Chain A
Amino acid sequence: MTPFSYARVTDNAEAIRLARVTPGARYLGGGTNLIDLMRETIEQPAALVDVTALSRTIEARADGSMLIGAAARNTAVAADRAVRERFPVLSRAILAGASAQIRNMATTAGNLMQRTRCYYFYDDAARCNKRDPGAGCDAIDGFNRIHAILGASPACIATHPSDMCVALAALDARVHAEGPNGARTLRLVDFHRLPGGRPDLETELAPGELITAIEIPPLPFAGNSMYRKVRDRASYAFALVSVAAALDVGPDGTIRDVRIALGGVAHKPWRAFAAEAALRGLPATEASFRAAAEAELKDAAGLRHNAFKIELAKRVITATLAGISGDARA
């Protein structure tokens, strides 16, 4: 690790001020991603502003929405009774990620900001446009089994590794951010970027801007929601493909509303807007689910080692929706 200074703050304004006046400063959450990347010297901040003492409140509001402080630990969010009741898909997604130890350390904001697990990004002997813009991308012709099938660019085919964010995308969460120019709110689905020509720019957050909270708007039918993760081992592995879904089926068996997001397939948590649009008004049957999955994956592009993800994603979307619709016929 390169040397850095360390300071701990207890309020948002102080965090933002310190980050602004300290050259090379970065916010530090649980450190489970940043410390790892600093040890590999992929990240070399000159100063760390520890923001784990900022808000950890998990507030269940009367209108059905929730507000989760940026420093709330992943375990605390997953275990929260109101989250479990209102947004079970969020509990499930968090619990499907990492290990109990890491979830005890990791913060909500840190989870949003975690960086890709692309092996070539981690290997400083490899070429990587994300680490070193313009250098090239060794993943495109390399071992790209874990890489993107949607929204990738000739510059970068990395995926966003978070499980939690997939559920937040399905729930249409809002990111509350505050910076030297004031506070603003972004939709989570617009928060992470596709790689395009600038894979080094991963989110819409401006330098020095602080995430202060995540807000989840009310979604009464999210009580019927599920997270399904497919990975190379039964636990403690990143997703190859994952699906977060919530479904509202009327008494006549027609889909009134639906939310779907995919993980492991793109540079950002991928909200399946096309599949959602295709499903509204259709009967909640396996055939409808499969057709919607086809629609979502229409533009998917496989590479040498990851083309299997296209069919896998279709199947996991279909099976997840069938599971929560009660129509689990094979």
Chain B
Amino acid sequence: MEWTINGQAVSASLDPRVSLLDLLRDHLGLTGTKKGCNQGACGACTVLVDGERINSCLALAVQYDGRAITTVEGLGSTDALHPLQQAFIEHDGFQCGYCTPGQLCSAIGMAGEIERGVPSAVTADLAAAAIVLNDDELRERMSGNLCRCGAYNGIVEAVRATLAPGKAA
């Protein structure tokens, strides 16, 4: 099996039971991606596969053989943060930080969905050509990422500031 993880080719021979999350954390030492519930209910394990956000805890690593995976480690580095990471700091988008890697990957996946015109449960007009990214849209689209510290307001601000700059609340 072979994956491109954060731009680098990685190969491993694994038991098919190993989840993508455990591959990242336990086999590759990429512990940025977090394990919260391990059952799809919290979003802490969110990563990007070919640019799309998924929950890596419900994914078998073998199912994603050959695919390109991006984790929080691939977004930015300590010296050069991704603009969204910088915005999370500026807008108090976290307290303990446990949900943050998932929130970051999720928001980046969400940006791609908006660009592709994917509607959400609160999109008023399904026929509209483009999505208007207001705070209702933002909250609904990020609802797959729970934050036990309740940093939601800061998260919304950080995501809005980065992905929808200039948009009113």
Contacts and interface: CB of A to CB of B under 8 A. Distances in A.
B101 to A, nearest CB: 13
B70 interface: no
A39 B39 contact: yes
Interface stretch (B2-10, B79-87, B109-117): B109-117
Interface in B118-169: 118-121, 123, 126-127, 139-141, 143-145
A5 interface: yes
B39 A101 contact: no
A52 B58 CA distance: 14
A100 B113 contact: yes
A168 interface: no
Given A100-B109, A100-B144, A105-B59, A4 B17 contact: yes
Given A100-B106, A101-B54, A105-B54, A6 B127 contact: no
Contact of B60 (A31, A75, A91, A96): A31
A32 interface: yes
Contact of B118 (A75, A96, A235, A236): A75
B102 to A, nearest CB: 9
Between B15, B16, B113, B145, the greatest number of chain A beta carbons within 10 A of the residue's beta carbon is seen for B16
B162 to A, nearest CB: 17
Interface majority SS (helix, strand, loop, mixed), chain B: loop
A1 B139 CA distance: 34
A3 B17 contact: yes
- Which bucket holds chain B's interface residue count? 35 or more
Interface stretch (A78-86, A141-149, A309-317): A78-86
A99 interface: yes
A6 B143 contact: no
Interface string A24-51: 0000101110011001000000001010
B55 interface: yes
Nearest to A40: B39
- The bracket for how many chain A residues form the interface is 35 or more
A35 B58 contact: yes
A102 interface: yes
B53 interface: yes
Contacts of A50: 63
A104 interface: yes
Given A84-B127, A104-B52, A235-B140, A96 B15 contact: no
A31 B59 contact: yes
A102 B144 contact: yes
A179 interface: no
Contacts of A193: none
A120 B92 CA distance: 40
Contacts of A4: 16-17
B53 A84 contact: no
A32 B52 CA distance: 15
B62 interface: yes
A208 interface: no
Given A36-B40, A79-B116, A100 B141 contact: yes
B93 interface: no
Interface in B63-120: 63, 65, 106, 109-110, 113, 116-120
B38 interface: yes
Given A92-B121, A100-B53, A32 B126 contact: no
Contacts of A75: 113, 118
B40 A5 contact: no
Interface string A81-116: 000110010011001101111101100000000000
17 contacts: A5-B16, A31-B60, A36-B39, A39-B39, A48-B16, A48-B60, A50-B63, A79-B119, A84-B119, A98-B40, A101-B40, A101-B43, A101-B46, A101-B54, A101-B55, A101-B106, A235-B140
Interface of A: 1, 3-6, 8, 28, 30-32, 35-36, 39, 48, 50, 52, 75, 78-79, 84-85, 88, 91-92, 95-96, 98-102, 104-105, 234-236
